[in-house]
Structure 1
Amino acid sequence: MKRKGKTPRFKTQRRLLMELPGMGKAGAMERKPYPPGQHGQRRRKYSEFGLQLEEKQKIRFHYGVREEQFRRLIKKAQKSSNSNWVEALVNLLEKRLDNVVFRLGFAVSVPAAKQMVSHGKVLVNGKKVNIGSQIIKVGDVITLKPDAYENQTYLQAKQSPRLPLPSFMMKEEKGGVESGRLIDEPNIEAVPFAFDAGLVISYYSLRG
């Protein structure tokens, strides 16, 4: 049964004309490289607002955060010491536990990682954490509960990782058990697709 108010991930990526790795739907643009709908193949005209909105939506959908969560993170980023608040925002998004689990290759998508966390399958420094939005710190070690290493979500991700391991993370494997660690602070280059930070800044500067 389809949940009301939720757009299928495949259609979302087609609408944005971009594959968003965090959504886990590889191939969204291969068969139909145009927006969904009756007039999808017509050439699209963008207003400045439309460009700003789509750039913001790319970030929000990739990281799997609701609009209200996104706005809270933006306010926190704007209060940081970083003069570029979009870079501070990316830093926070990349360090969310659900995203860390995804970027370590323990899950095929951010939603799959979120589910693993909420089901108590993820350990941070040996302790179970079931809140996907928890911010991970440099040095924290991420592992899974023993039975999670036999789960199809993990095995599929290990066999076909959606993204390469980023430079600010490291992984180890001992006795067939993988662990991951955040070894540096992620910056704006951590975003695994092209986007224009200036358009995101413009969108929110006009709307407070």
Structure 2
Amino acid sequence: MAPTPRNQRLLDAARRGDTDGVRTALADGAAVETRDEELRSPLLLAALGDHVDAARVLVDAGADPDAQDSRHDSPWLVTGVTGSVAMLRVLLPAGPDLTLRNRFGGIALIPACERGHVEYVRALLAETAIDVDHVNDLGWTALLEAVILGDGGLAHAETVELLLAHGATPDLPDGDGVTPLAHAERRGFTTLAALLRDAA
């Protein structure tokens, strides 16, 4: 069913990052948890666009940071994809579920490590109790993703250092029994391999 006009105005304002438009739509009675055709909430649309001020208004209005769309994305989960520390800090007071899983069975930490979002990973590990050894449906931890899907460069080296410093198990293997160190060696990532050897 299509959103009502007032709900559509809220969705459009959130997608654009129009903070005043979000406030006006809410004041006019728009539902803070209305959904678009892909089941995305206004807060998810704001998070996808990194519209921090609009998201803050929505959070203050009681928006759910865990509301998932048809792809199992949520406002909280997509911060791991965008790497937005500012959005992370807007959503944290709303009490997001740190165990919420995306369509790959991963938590917010895993895509952030895959992409080498160093400052986001630093903030997430320092400011939450997220599970650093969570295993997704592929059998991969955040550490494995940083090695397997990263480029072996500085950002992924810093990401690996942060994970290890926060208690990531250095030799936790993938579903085939291959460790992060073995993956790093196979890919010729000498810096990552040295970090993993030192942590073993």
* TM-score, normalised relative to structure 1: 0.25
User: Where is the helix percentage greater, Structure 1 or Structure 2?
Assistant: 2
User: Where is the strand percentage greater, Structure 1 or Structure 2?
Assistant: 1
Q: Which has the higher contact order (CA 8 A, sep 6+)?
A: 1
* TM-score, normalised relative to structure 2: 0.25
